[in-house]
Amino acid sequence: MADPTKDTYGRIARFYDTLLEPVNAPLRAIGWKLHPTNSSMTVLDVGCGTGAHLEAYVDSGAECFGLDASPAMLEQAAARLGDRAQLELGDATALPHKDASFDFVFTSLFLHELGNSVRKTALSEMARVVKPDGRVLIIDYYVGSMRAKGYLARSVSMVAERIAGRDHFRNWRPFLRSGGIATMAPKAGISIESEKVVAGGNLALWILRKP
Ligand SMILES: C[S@@+](CC[C@H](N)C(=O)[O-])C[C@H]1O[C@@H](n2cnc3c(N)ncnc32)[C@H](O)[C@@H]1O
């Protein structure tokens, strides 16, 4: 279980968007095109961080929930979203939601940070809480062939993962070696419906559903 007293994002939460929005904003736009939401939908962002992605779904009128293990990141999300989304401190490996609660479950740049067995549990939890006809969107590192732009982006990512801390780097490498989302998601009970590779092969967006 994640321990909120050891907030690894405590020091960077205030600067997170300044650093990451140049990467996150285009990813968000692609994710939105792949799976837009509307006011009849329920949405959960797992590892929602500062809530920048969640805001796009809030703006669509969907009923939105965000969960994160970092009090500091959630503080940023609360400042951004106020009461427009229900934000919760929690652990992705034990989601506090009933089975089949959400039309759309979303997670971005989160799963690679976890150890392999924790990641599998988090994926299974997402599969559990999405409705039978709902969809999951995952944005994360891609494991496959890269173009020159991808190698450059991957080198920058490598530095960022090292700066982010020992655990990040320790978990990121086995994530890549294990085959990433394409290999792990089906083992956690959720099937890939589509895959969109971006950033020269450094990242991808997957739409998934229950088999
Ligand atoms: C790299 S940030 C990504 C934030 C946001 N999704 C984005 O795309 O900008 C990873 C987030 O996952 C959260 N996190 C890490 N382990 C977690 C866990 N076990 N349960 C829930 N959130 C977790 C961190 O606190 C952090 O906010």
Summarize pLDDT for 67-80 with one digit per residue, the tens. Answer: 999 999 999 999 99
Q: What atom of ligand 1 comes closest to residue 164's alpha carbon? A: 1
Q: What is the pLDDT of residues 168-185, one digit of tens each?
A: 778 888 899 999 999 999
Using the predicted structure, report yes or no on whether residue 57 has a pLDDT greater than 50.
yes
| pLDDT value for 210 | 93
Q: What's the 69 CA to ligand 1 centre distance in angstroms?
A: 7
Query: How many A from CA of 176 to the centre of ligand 1?
Result: 18
Q: What is the mean pLDDT of the chain?
A: 93
State whether residue 36 is helix, strand or coil. coil
Lowest mean pLDDT among 32-36, 73-77, 107-111, 143-147: 143-147
Structure confidence at residue 5 (pLDDT): 57
- State which ligand 1 atom lies nearest to the alpha carbon of 73: 27
Atom of ligand 1 nearest to the CA of 45: 6
Substitution site in 57, 68, 124 for ligand 1 pocket (most atoms within 8 Å of beta carbon): 68
Residue 33 scores a pLDDT above 50? yes
Residue 160 above 80 pLDDT?
Answer: no
Q: In angstroms, what is the span from residue 60 Cα to ligand 1's centroid?
A: 23
Tell me the C-alpha to C-alpha distance, in Å, between residue 25 and each of 22, 49, 151: 6, 14, 21
- The answer to whether the beta carbons of residues 112 and 173 sit under 8 Å apart is no
The confidence score (pLDDT) of residue 3 equals: 55
- Mean pLDDT of the 79-83 span: 97
| pLDDT range class, residue 164, cuts 50, 70, 90 | confident
Among residues of the chain, what percentage have pLDDT more than 70? 97
Tokens in use for 67? 């969960």
How many angstroms separate the alpha carbon of residue 74 from the centre of ligand 1? 10
Distance CA 176, CA 22 (A): 23
For residue 159, the model assigns a pLDDT of 79
Among 88-92, 112-116, 159-163, the least confident range: 159-163
Choose one of 110, 137, 169 to mutate for the ligand 1 pocket test, by most ligand atoms within 8 angstroms of C-beta. Answer: 110
Split at pLDDT 50, 70, 90, the class of 2 is low
In this predicted model, what pLDDT tens digit does every residue of 122-154 receive, in sequence order?
999 999 999 999 999 999 999 988 898 888 888
Q: Confidence class of residue 17 from pLDDT cuts 50, 70 and 90?
A: very high
Q: Which residues line ligand 1 (CB under 6 A)?
A: 2, 9, 20, 24, 47-49, 53, 67-70, 73, 91-93, 108-110, 113
Expressed in angstroms and rounded, the spacing between residue 3 Cα and the centre of ligand 1 is: 13
**Sheet with 102-108, edge to edge strand ranges:** 85-89, 63-68, 42-46, 102-108, 130-141, 203-209, 191-198
Q: Does pLDDT of 1 surpass 50?
A: no
Query: What per-residue confidence (pLDDT) applies to 127?
Result: 96
